[in-house]
Structures are given as C-alpha cells and as structure tokens.
C-alpha cells in the first residue's frame, strides 16, 4: 500500500501519460469502427481503499455492459471497458448498422458485437502500451457481462487483483458525439502493483 500512496507527482504524471496513449489508440479504433467522433478526457488515477472507490461511473445498481480482459506478459493486470446501457445500445446499433428493437434487452448478436468491440479496443489499448514501453503484453480473450455497475467494478478490483486492500486504477472517460447527444464510456486500466513498478522502469522513473 505505502508503495501506492508514495508515488511522486512525476510518476503519477507518467502513468497518466501512458494511459493516455493507450486510451488514444483505443479511441481511434472506436472511431474507425463507428464512424463517429470520439473524445477522451485526461486519465484520472484512483488510489483508494476497496470500499471507498468513488462511485464515479454510474449509480451502483445501474446496469452497464462491461468487457474485462486480463493482461499477461511483462505487465499483468486487467483492462475493463464500461458502457452505460444507453451507450451500449447505440454502439451496438452503429456496429451492426441496424436499429435496436425498442423496449427489448440487447440481443445475443448485439452483445456479441459489443464484446468484440471491447476486444478490439482493449487490444488497441494494450498494443499501444506495449509499443510505447517496449514491453510484451498479451491480452486474454475478453469476458463480457451486463450487470449492475458496482457488482462489475468490485469484481474487477477484487476477484483478480493481487492487493486486497487498495485499488489502483487509471480511468479514462470517452464521449461519442452522436446526433447532438453525448454518450459516455469508461476505460479502466488496473495494473497489478508489481506491474506499476515495471511501467515506471520502462519510462525511466522507477
């Protein structure tokens, strides 16, 4: 834990920059897939006790579509892509080029399209990190869920993390400009603590 809270501002900046490069590539991939303009925010770093992770994304019981992937290789950790339902629905429409039947849940085909999109976006994110840092990064197959936001997030933090007390998470929010309306999504990078050190070494700030 001390390791997480004692990161210097310079090191935090470096991690944010690394995440920004990853998110930038993922946003470009999303833009190509959908033909929409995608904007991303400056990544924010959350270091918090498990029970205090800010419920920044959406209300805890609000449904979200999420794609979780494990990173293996020189860096280990996870990436989590989170789409609130309105974004997920619109994204599925754009990917499949057909309208979603109103009042229904996402069909198997639509879910499959989102899972594949998540796979491509996470792959783009990890590839960018890998190239920028000169580290080998292997993405696992994607795992997809539509469920309550808090259930999804705590599972991503807890079920796989090496540290059970603190969460280290780099979050990038992205916006899809769509007919005047802005649809949000979130990209979370959850490096394991030893991998944080590897990232800092790679950018010569260890």
Partner 1 sequence: MSTPMPGDPLAVTESRVGVADSRLLRGSGILSTHGLGSCIALAIYDAETRCAVLAHILLPCEDRAGPVARPARSAVHAVPLLLRKLRSAGAGRRLVAKMAGGASMFGPLLLMGGVNMGERNIKATRRALQDAGVLLVAEDVGGDYGRSVYFDVSTGTMLVRSLKRGDRTL
Residue 175 or 187: the one with the smaller Cβ distance to partner 1 is 187
| Binding status of residue 179 toward partner 1 by CB under 8 A | no
Alpha carbons 8 and 203: distance in angstroms, whole number: 14
Instruction: Write down the least CB distance from residue 73 to partner 1, Å.
Output: 12
Q: CA 206, CA 198: separation in Å to the nearest integer?
A: 8
148 is a site residue for partner 1 (CB under 8 A):
yes
Q: Which is nearer to partner 1, 52 or 181 (CB)?
A: 52
Among 35, 103, 141, 180, binds partner 1 (CB under 8 A): 141
Is the separation of the CB atoms in 40 and 25 below 8 Å? no
Least distance from partner 1 to the Cβ atom of residue 198, Å:
17
Task: Name the CA radius of gyration of the chain, rounded.
Answer: 16
**Calpha distance 168→181 (Å, rounded):** 31
Place of tokens 């629905």: 89
* 140 near partner 1, rule: CB under 8 A: yes
Q: Does 145 bind partner 1 (CB under 8 A)?
A: yes
The residues pairing with 138 across neighbouring beta strands, listed in sequence order, are 72
Within 10 angstroms of residue 204's Cβ, the number of other Cβ atoms is 7
Q: Please report whether residue 75 would count as binding partner 1 according to CB under 8 A.
A: no
Q: What residue ranges bind partner 1 (CB under 8 A)?
A: 50-51, 59-63, 68-70, 72, 140-141, 143, 145-156, 158-160, 164-165
């Amino acid at each position: 834990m001390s390791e997480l809270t004692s990161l210097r501002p310079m090191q935090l900046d470096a991690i944010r920059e690394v995440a920004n490069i990853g998110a930038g590539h993922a946003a470009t991939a999303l833009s190509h897939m959908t033909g929409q303009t995608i904007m991303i925010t400056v990544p924010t770093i959350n270091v918090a006790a498990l029970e205090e992770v800010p419920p920044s994304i959406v209300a805890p019981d609000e449904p979200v579509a999420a794609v979780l992937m494990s990173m293996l290789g020189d860096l280990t950790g996870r990436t989590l892509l989170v789409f609130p339902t309105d974004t997920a629905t619109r994204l599925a429409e754009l990917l499949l080029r057909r309208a979603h039947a109103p009042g229904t849940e996402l069909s198997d085909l639509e879910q499959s399209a989102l899972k594949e999109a998540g796979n491509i976006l996470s792959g783009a994110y990890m590839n960018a990190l890998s190239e920028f840092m000169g580290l080998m990064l292997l993405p696992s197959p994607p795992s997809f869920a539509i469920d309550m936001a808090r259930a999804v997030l705590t599972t991503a933090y807890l079920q796989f993390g090496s540290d059970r007390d603190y969460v280290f998470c780099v979050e990038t929010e992205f916006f899809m400009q769509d007919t005047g309306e802005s649809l949000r999504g979130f990209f979370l990078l959850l490096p394991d603590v030893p991998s944080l050190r590897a990232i800092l070494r790679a950018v010569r700030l260890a």
